[in-house]
Amino acid sequence: MSTLSPTQKMSRAKLEATREFPFFGLLILACEFLEDEGASTLWSDGRRIGYNPDFVARCEGPELVWLIAHEALHNAFGHGFRMGARDTELHNIATDFWINGVLYSELHRHPTSRMSLPNLPRITGNPEAHMALDPGRFGILSSDAIYAELVRESLERPDTGGGAGQERGEDEGGGGSGKSPFEQYDQAGLNGDLRPEKSKSGSSAEQDATREFWRAMLARAFDAAGELSGLSDALKRTLEDAIAGQVPWQDALSRFVQPSPADFVWEQPDRRFMEEDFILPDVAGSTLEVVLCLDTSGSIPNEALSYFLRESSSILRSFDRVRGFLIACDEQITLIRDIEEEDFDLESFKGGRGTSFAPPFAWLEHEGIRPHALVYFTDGLGDFPAQEPDYPVLWLMVNSDVRPNFGEVLRVKLQ
Protein backbone atom coordinates (compact mmCIF):
# COMPACT_ATOMS: atom_id res chain seq x y z
CA MET A 1 0.00 0.00 0.00
CA SER A 2 1.45 3.39 -1.00
CA THR A 3 2.19 5.99 1.65
CA LEU A 4 0.20 9.21 1.39
CA SER A 5 2.01 12.52 1.30
CA PRO A 6 1.09 15.19 3.90
CA THR A 7 -0.95 17.02 1.24
CA GLN A 8 -2.83 13.84 0.34
CA LYS A 9 -3.44 13.01 4.00
CA MET A 10 -4.84 16.49 4.53
CA SER A 11 -7.15 16.11 1.52
CA ARG A 12 -8.42 12.75 2.73
CA ALA A 13 -9.04 14.11 6.25
CA LYS A 14 -11.11 16.96 4.78
CA LEU A 15 -13.24 14.51 2.78
CA GLU A 16 -13.77 12.20 5.77
CA ALA A 17 -14.77 15.13 7.97
CA THR A 18 -17.24 16.37 5.37
CA ARG A 19 -18.79 12.93 4.89
CA GLU A 20 -19.11 11.96 8.54
CA PHE A 21 -19.44 15.37 10.23
CA PRO A 22 -21.02 17.76 7.71
CA PHE A 23 -21.08 20.61 10.24
CA PHE A 24 -17.32 20.43 10.85
CA GLY A 25 -16.63 19.52 7.23
CA LEU A 26 -18.21 22.67 5.79
CA LEU A 27 -16.28 24.85 8.23
CA ILE A 28 -13.05 23.04 7.35
CA LEU A 29 -13.65 23.53 3.61
CA ALA A 30 -14.20 27.25 4.23
CA CYS A 31 -10.62 27.56 5.53
CA GLU A 32 -7.56 28.15 3.39
CA PHE A 33 -4.76 25.64 4.09
CA LEU A 34 -1.05 26.27 3.70
CA GLU A 35 2.14 24.42 4.55
CA ASP A 36 4.33 26.09 7.17
CA GLU A 37 7.56 24.26 7.89
CA GLY A 38 8.34 26.77 10.63
CA ALA A 39 5.28 25.74 12.65
CA SER A 40 5.59 23.06 15.32
CA THR A 41 2.10 21.64 14.72
CA LEU A 42 -0.88 23.56 13.33
CA TRP A 43 -2.18 27.11 13.72
CA SER A 44 -5.19 29.21 12.80
CA ASP A 45 -5.37 32.95 12.11
CA GLY A 46 -9.08 33.60 11.57
CA ARG A 47 -9.38 32.35 7.98
CA ARG A 48 -6.41 30.08 7.33
CA ILE A 49 -5.02 26.87 8.83
CA GLY A 50 -1.27 26.45 8.69
CA TYR A 51 0.36 23.07 9.20
CA ASN A 52 3.79 21.55 9.47
CA PRO A 53 3.99 18.75 6.85
CA ASP A 54 6.27 16.62 9.05
CA PHE A 55 3.76 16.83 11.89
CA VAL A 56 0.91 15.86 9.56
CA ALA A 57 2.95 12.90 8.29
CA ARG A 58 3.12 11.52 11.85
CA CYS A 59 -0.64 11.78 12.42
CA GLU A 60 -3.08 8.95 11.87
CA GLY A 61 -5.98 9.83 9.58
CA PRO A 62 -8.67 9.97 12.33
CA GLU A 63 -6.36 12.16 14.47
CA LEU A 64 -5.98 14.58 11.59
CA VAL A 65 -9.75 14.86 11.23
CA TRP A 66 -9.92 15.97 14.87
CA LEU A 67 -7.03 18.41 14.52
CA ILE A 68 -8.28 20.25 11.43
CA ALA A 69 -11.81 20.39 12.89
CA HIS A 70 -10.23 21.90 16.02
CA GLU A 71 -8.50 24.65 14.01
CA ALA A 72 -11.59 25.31 11.88
CA LEU A 73 -13.66 25.92 15.03
CA HIS A 74 -11.06 28.42 16.26
CA ASN A 75 -11.53 30.31 13.00
CA ALA A 76 -15.31 30.02 12.80
CA PHE A 77 -15.87 31.37 16.31
CA GLY A 78 -13.31 34.17 15.97
CA HIS A 79 -11.23 33.05 18.93
CA GLY A 80 -8.09 34.79 17.68
CA PHE A 81 -9.81 38.20 17.62
CA ARG A 82 -11.60 37.89 20.97
CA MET A 83 -8.73 38.10 23.42
CA GLY A 84 -9.24 41.70 24.57
CA ALA A 85 -7.32 42.26 27.81
CA ARG A 86 -7.15 38.56 28.59
CA ASP A 87 -3.98 36.51 28.94
CA THR A 88 -3.13 35.23 25.44
CA GLU A 89 -1.96 31.77 26.53
CA LEU A 90 -4.82 31.15 28.94
CA HIS A 91 -7.39 32.36 26.38
CA ASN A 92 -5.96 29.86 23.90
CA ILE A 93 -6.18 27.08 26.50
CA ALA A 94 -9.77 28.00 27.44
CA THR A 95 -10.92 27.90 23.82
CA ASP A 96 -9.04 24.60 23.38
CA PHE A 97 -10.97 23.14 26.30
CA TRP A 98 -14.25 24.26 24.78
CA ILE A 99 -13.45 22.98 21.27
CA ASN A 100 -12.18 19.64 22.51
CA GLY A 101 -15.34 19.26 24.60
CA VAL A 102 -17.45 19.88 21.49
CA LEU A 103 -15.47 17.39 19.40
CA TYR A 104 -15.48 14.79 22.18
CA SER A 105 -19.26 15.11 22.53
CA GLU A 106 -19.78 14.61 18.80
CA LEU A 107 -17.33 11.71 18.78
CA HIS A 108 -19.36 9.95 21.46
CA ARG A 109 -22.50 10.52 19.43
CA HIS A 110 -20.76 8.87 16.45
CA PRO A 111 -18.38 6.32 18.05
CA THR A 112 -17.63 4.47 14.79
CA SER A 113 -16.61 7.61 12.91
CA ARG A 114 -13.23 8.31 11.40
CA MET A 115 -12.22 10.78 14.10
CA SER A 116 -10.16 10.20 17.22
CA LEU A 117 -8.52 12.17 20.00
CA PRO A 118 -4.92 12.89 18.90
CA ASN A 119 -2.19 11.08 20.79
CA LEU A 120 0.23 13.98 20.99
CA PRO A 121 2.82 12.18 23.15
CA ARG A 122 3.18 9.62 20.34
CA ILE A 123 3.00 12.10 17.49
CA THR A 124 5.47 14.62 18.92
CA GLY A 125 7.64 12.39 21.07
CA ASN A 126 6.87 14.65 24.03
CA PRO A 127 5.46 12.53 26.89
CA GLU A 128 4.18 15.69 28.63
CA ALA A 129 1.90 16.77 25.77
CA HIS A 130 -1.76 16.32 26.73
CA MET A 131 -4.08 17.15 23.86
CA ALA A 132 -7.23 15.93 25.59
CA LEU A 133 -7.26 18.65 28.26
CA ASP A 134 -9.95 16.49 29.89
CA PRO A 135 -12.60 17.36 27.27
CA GLY A 136 -15.49 16.47 29.56
CA ARG A 137 -14.25 18.59 32.45
CA PHE A 138 -16.22 21.79 31.81
CA GLY A 139 -19.37 20.30 30.35
CA ILE A 140 -21.46 22.91 28.56
CA LEU A 141 -19.57 25.99 29.82
CA SER A 142 -18.67 28.59 27.21
CA SER A 143 -15.01 29.35 26.48
CA ASP A 144 -15.41 32.67 28.35
CA ALA A 145 -16.74 30.88 31.43
CA ILE A 146 -13.92 28.33 31.16
CA TYR A 147 -11.41 31.18 31.03
CA ALA A 148 -12.84 32.63 34.25
CA GLU A 149 -12.62 29.21 35.92
CA LEU A 150 -8.99 28.82 34.84
CA VAL A 151 -8.13 32.27 36.18
CA ARG A 152 -9.56 31.35 39.58
CA GLU A 153 -7.81 27.99 39.48
CA SER A 154 -4.50 29.64 38.61
CA LEU A 155 -4.82 32.14 41.44
CA GLU A 156 -5.51 29.36 43.91
CA ARG A 157 -2.27 27.55 43.01
CA PRO A 158 0.64 28.60 45.24
CA ASP A 159 3.18 28.07 42.44
CA THR A 160 1.53 30.47 39.99
CA GLY A 161 3.69 32.95 38.06
CA GLY A 162 6.79 34.76 39.30
CA GLY A 163 6.33 38.17 40.82
CA ALA A 164 6.13 41.89 40.22
CA GLY A 165 7.82 43.03 37.05
CA GLN A 166 8.19 39.55 35.58
CA GLU A 167 7.54 39.59 31.86
CA ARG A 168 6.35 36.58 29.92
CA GLY A 169 7.70 35.90 26.48
CA GLU A 170 5.57 36.60 23.41
CA ASP A 171 6.59 33.65 21.26
CA GLU A 172 3.99 30.89 21.46
CA GLY A 173 2.62 32.51 24.62
CA GLY A 174 5.60 31.20 26.49
CA GLY A 175 7.88 31.44 29.31
CA GLY A 176 9.65 34.71 29.97
CA SER A 177 12.22 34.46 32.71
CA GLY A 178 10.14 32.13 34.88
CA LYS A 179 8.02 29.01 34.57
CA SER A 180 4.67 29.32 32.89
CA PRO A 181 1.76 28.85 35.32
CA PHE A 182 0.03 26.76 32.62
CA GLU A 183 2.62 24.05 32.06
CA GLN A 184 0.11 21.32 32.91
CA TYR A 185 -1.74 22.19 29.70
CA ASP A 186 1.24 21.62 27.41
CA GLN A 187 0.12 20.51 23.94
CA ALA A 188 3.47 20.51 22.15
CA GLY A 189 2.69 23.84 20.48
CA LEU A 190 -1.07 23.48 20.06
CA ASN A 191 -1.64 25.58 23.18
CA GLY A 192 -0.22 28.41 21.06
CA ASP A 193 -2.16 27.70 17.88
CA LEU A 194 -4.14 30.95 17.85
CA ARG A 195 -1.98 33.19 15.68
CA PRO A 196 -4.01 36.28 14.72
CA GLU A 197 -0.76 38.13 14.01
CA LYS A 198 -0.42 35.99 10.87
CA SER A 199 -3.79 37.15 9.61
CA LYS A 200 -4.32 39.49 6.68
CA SER A 201 -7.40 40.77 8.55
CA GLY A 202 -5.56 43.43 10.51
CA SER A 203 -7.92 46.38 10.33
CA SER A 204 -11.23 46.64 12.14
CA ALA A 205 -13.11 46.63 8.81
CA GLU A 206 -11.34 43.45 7.68
CA GLN A 207 -12.07 41.75 10.97
CA ASP A 208 -15.74 42.74 10.73
CA ALA A 209 -15.83 41.24 7.24
CA THR A 210 -14.24 38.04 8.55
CA ARG A 211 -16.84 37.81 11.33
CA GLU A 212 -19.67 38.26 8.81
CA PHE A 213 -18.14 35.57 6.60
CA TRP A 214 -18.10 33.08 9.47
CA ARG A 215 -21.60 33.97 10.62
CA ALA A 216 -22.83 33.01 7.15
CA MET A 217 -20.74 29.83 7.12
CA LEU A 218 -21.95 28.81 10.58
CA ALA A 219 -25.54 29.24 9.40
CA ARG A 220 -24.90 27.05 6.34
CA ALA A 221 -23.11 24.40 8.39
CA PHE A 222 -25.89 24.48 11.02
CA ASP A 223 -28.52 23.86 8.33
CA ALA A 224 -26.53 20.99 6.84
CA ALA A 225 -25.97 19.36 10.23
CA GLY A 226 -29.65 19.69 11.11
CA GLU A 227 -30.67 17.90 7.95
CA LEU A 228 -28.09 15.10 8.09
CA SER A 229 -26.80 14.26 11.54
CA GLY A 230 -27.95 16.80 14.11
CA LEU A 231 -25.90 18.47 16.84
CA SER A 232 -25.92 18.44 20.61
CA ASP A 233 -28.30 20.87 22.32
CA ALA A 234 -25.41 22.77 23.93
CA LEU A 235 -23.70 23.34 20.58
CA LYS A 236 -27.00 24.36 19.00
CA ARG A 237 -27.49 27.08 21.60
CA THR A 238 -23.96 28.39 21.05
CA LEU A 239 -24.49 28.42 17.30
CA GLU A 240 -27.80 30.24 17.53
CA ASP A 241 -26.15 33.02 19.55
CA ALA A 242 -23.16 33.22 17.20
CA ILE A 243 -25.30 33.30 14.05
CA ALA A 244 -27.63 35.94 15.47
CA GLY A 245 -24.64 37.99 16.62
CA GLN A 246 -26.50 38.77 19.82
CA VAL A 247 -23.80 39.02 22.46
CA PRO A 248 -24.94 41.26 25.34
CA TRP A 249 -22.55 44.18 25.51
CA GLN A 250 -22.40 43.83 29.29
CA ASP A 251 -20.97 40.30 28.90
CA ALA A 252 -18.44 41.53 26.36
CA LEU A 253 -17.36 44.38 28.65
CA SER A 254 -17.03 41.96 31.57
CA ARG A 255 -14.77 39.73 29.47
CA PHE A 256 -12.81 42.67 28.12
CA VAL A 257 -11.75 44.05 31.49
CA GLN A 258 -11.32 40.69 33.24
CA PRO A 259 -7.90 40.39 34.90
CA SER A 260 -5.67 37.55 33.83
CA PRO A 261 -3.14 35.59 35.93
CA ALA A 262 -0.39 37.67 34.31
CA ASP A 263 -1.88 40.70 36.09
CA PHE A 264 -1.36 39.12 39.51
CA VAL A 265 1.69 38.70 41.70
CA TRP A 266 2.06 36.36 44.66
CA GLU A 267 3.28 37.70 47.98
CA GLN A 268 3.90 36.24 51.42
CA PRO A 269 1.04 36.84 53.85
CA ASP A 270 0.99 39.76 56.25
CA ARG A 271 2.49 38.77 59.62
CA ARG A 272 -0.99 38.85 61.09
CA PHE A 273 -1.86 35.91 58.82
CA MET A 274 1.31 33.85 59.16
CA GLU A 275 -0.66 31.08 60.85
CA GLU A 276 -2.91 30.75 57.81
CA ASP A 277 -2.13 28.25 55.04
CA PHE A 278 -2.42 30.51 52.01
CA ILE A 279 -0.54 33.03 49.91
CA LEU A 280 -2.13 36.38 49.11
CA PRO A 281 -2.58 37.32 45.47
CA ASP A 282 -2.47 40.97 44.50
CA VAL A 283 -3.10 42.68 41.19
CA ALA A 284 0.18 43.81 39.64
CA GLY A 285 0.48 47.54 40.13
CA SER A 286 -2.05 47.28 43.01
CA THR A 287 -5.20 47.39 40.86
CA LEU A 288 -6.82 46.63 37.57
CA GLU A 289 -6.94 50.01 35.83
CA VAL A 290 -9.82 50.77 33.46
CA VAL A 291 -10.73 53.98 31.60
CA LEU A 292 -14.34 54.64 30.58
CA CYS A 293 -14.80 57.35 27.94
CA LEU A 294 -18.18 58.93 27.21
CA ASP A 295 -19.07 60.71 24.01
CA THR A 296 -21.02 63.75 25.26
CA SER A 297 -21.51 65.35 21.85
CA GLY A 298 -24.94 66.47 20.76
CA SER A 299 -25.79 63.18 19.04
CA ILE A 300 -25.75 61.10 22.26
CA PRO A 301 -28.89 61.44 24.43
CA ASN A 302 -28.56 61.61 28.21
CA GLU A 303 -30.72 58.50 28.60
CA ALA A 304 -28.10 56.47 26.70
CA LEU A 305 -25.26 57.89 28.84
CA SER A 306 -27.16 57.14 32.04
CA TYR A 307 -27.82 53.56 30.88
CA PHE A 308 -24.17 52.96 30.03
CA LEU A 309 -22.91 54.42 33.32
CA ARG A 310 -25.32 52.33 35.39
CA GLU A 311 -24.48 49.06 33.66
CA SER A 312 -20.71 49.57 33.43
CA SER A 313 -20.46 50.66 37.08
CA SER A 314 -22.24 47.46 38.08
CA ILE A 315 -19.78 45.37 36.08
CA LEU A 316 -16.70 47.10 37.49
CA ARG A 317 -17.93 46.73 41.06
CA SER A 318 -17.91 42.95 40.55
CA PHE A 319 -14.09 43.07 40.69
CA ASP A 320 -12.35 43.42 44.01
CA ARG A 321 -9.76 46.04 43.10
CA VAL A 322 -10.49 48.24 40.12
CA ARG A 323 -9.60 51.87 39.64
CA GLY A 324 -9.26 54.29 36.78
CA PHE A 325 -10.96 57.26 35.20
CA LEU A 326 -14.23 58.32 33.70
CA ILE A 327 -13.57 60.81 30.90
CA ALA A 328 -16.33 62.81 29.22
CA CYS A 329 -15.45 64.30 25.85
CA ASP A 330 -17.14 65.92 22.88
CA GLU A 331 -14.56 67.76 20.74
CA GLN A 332 -12.44 68.19 23.87
CA ILE A 333 -12.37 66.71 27.38
CA THR A 334 -15.09 68.22 29.55
CA LEU A 335 -14.80 66.06 32.68
CA ILE A 336 -12.35 63.64 34.32
CA ARG A 337 -13.45 61.77 37.43
CA ASP A 338 -12.17 58.81 39.46
CA ILE A 339 -14.02 55.68 38.49
CA GLU A 340 -14.44 54.63 42.13
CA GLU A 341 -17.06 57.31 42.75
CA GLU A 342 -20.42 55.70 43.40
CA ASP A 343 -22.68 58.18 41.62
CA PHE A 344 -22.23 60.47 38.66
CA ASP A 345 -24.44 63.50 38.10
CA LEU A 346 -25.11 63.74 34.38
CA GLU A 347 -25.92 67.41 34.81
CA SER A 348 -22.20 68.01 35.35
CA PHE A 349 -21.36 66.41 32.01
CA LYS A 350 -20.90 69.39 29.73
CA GLY A 351 -20.93 68.81 26.01
CA GLY A 352 -23.16 69.03 22.99
CA ARG A 353 -20.57 70.27 20.48
CA GLY A 354 -18.71 68.34 17.76
CA THR A 355 -16.90 65.03 18.31
CA SER A 356 -13.25 64.04 18.48
CA PHE A 357 -12.07 60.80 20.10
CA ALA A 358 -8.41 61.82 20.24
CA PRO A 359 -8.28 63.97 23.44
CA PRO A 360 -8.69 61.10 25.99
CA PHE A 361 -5.90 59.10 24.33
CA ALA A 362 -3.67 62.19 24.23
CA TRP A 363 -4.36 62.92 27.93
CA LEU A 364 -3.50 59.34 28.97
CA GLU A 365 -0.26 59.50 27.00
CA HIS A 366 0.63 62.87 28.56
CA GLU A 367 -0.03 61.49 32.05
CA GLY A 368 1.95 58.30 31.35
CA ILE A 369 -1.10 56.11 32.07
CA ARG A 370 -1.35 52.73 30.34
CA PRO A 371 -4.65 51.14 31.44
CA HIS A 372 -5.50 47.46 31.23
CA ALA A 373 -8.44 48.48 29.02
CA LEU A 374 -10.15 51.56 27.61
CA VAL A 375 -13.86 51.45 26.77
CA TYR A 376 -15.39 54.22 24.62
CA PHE A 377 -19.18 54.65 24.54
CA THR A 378 -20.15 56.52 21.36
CA ASP A 379 -22.12 56.54 18.12
CA GLY A 380 -18.84 56.76 16.21
CA LEU A 381 -19.66 60.05 14.46
CA GLY A 382 -16.38 61.83 14.99
CA ASP A 383 -12.64 61.93 14.28
CA PHE A 384 -10.59 58.91 15.43
CA PRO A 385 -6.96 59.10 16.57
CA ALA A 386 -4.48 58.27 13.83
CA GLN A 387 -2.23 56.26 16.16
CA GLU A 388 -3.36 53.03 17.83
CA PRO A 389 -2.40 52.89 21.55
CA ASP A 390 -0.50 49.97 23.06
CA TYR A 391 -3.42 48.91 25.29
CA PRO A 392 -6.73 47.21 24.41
CA VAL A 393 -9.59 49.45 23.27
CA LEU A 394 -13.27 48.48 23.11
CA TRP A 395 -15.66 50.72 21.16
CA LEU A 396 -19.30 50.37 22.22
CA MET A 397 -20.99 51.70 19.08
CA VAL A 398 -24.53 52.85 19.84
CA ASN A 399 -26.97 52.36 16.94
CA SER A 400 -24.05 52.74 14.55
CA ASP A 401 -22.28 50.90 11.74
CA VAL A 402 -19.16 53.09 11.91
CA ARG A 403 -15.89 51.13 11.80
CA PRO A 404 -12.95 52.66 13.71
CA ASN A 405 -9.41 52.20 12.47
CA PHE A 406 -8.35 50.17 15.52
CA GLY A 407 -9.71 48.37 18.55
CA GLU A 408 -12.48 45.85 19.15
CA VAL A 409 -16.01 46.90 18.23
CA LEU A 410 -19.30 45.92 19.81
CA ARG A 411 -22.58 47.15 18.35
CA VAL A 412 -25.12 48.30 20.94
CA LYS A 413 -28.76 48.65 19.86
CA LEU A 414 -30.78 51.06 21.96
CA GLN A 415 -34.38 52.03 21.27
What amino acid occupies position 243? I
Can you give the pLDDT at residue 284? 47
Can you give the pLDDT at residue 169? 39
Q: 156: how many CB neighbours lie within 10 A of its CB?
A: 11
Q: Is pLDDT at 346 greater than 90 in this prediction? A: no
Positive or negative: CA dihedral 33, 37, 43, 45: negative
The most confident of 65-69, 86-90, 213-217, 402-406, by mean pLDDT = 65-69
Exposure class string for 115-127: b at 16+ Cβ within 10 A, else e: beebebeebbeee
Domains and CATH numbers, the chain: 6-246 (no CATH), 256-412 (3.40.50.410)
Asked if residues 36 and 50 have their Cβ atoms less than 8 Å apart, the reply is yes
pLDDT, tens digit, 9 for 90 and up, residues 294-312:
898 888 887 777 777 776 7
Q: Is pLDDT at 20 greater than 80 in this prediction? A: yes
Can you give the pLDDT at residue 252? 66
pLDDT, tens digit, 9 for 90 and up, residues 201-234:
767 778 888 888 999 999 999 887 765 556 777 7
- In the chain, the largest separation of any two C-alpha atoms, in whole Å, equals 80
The angle formed by the CA atoms of residues 327, 329 and 332, to the nearest 5 degrees, is 120
Dist CA 404 CA 395 (whole Å) = 8
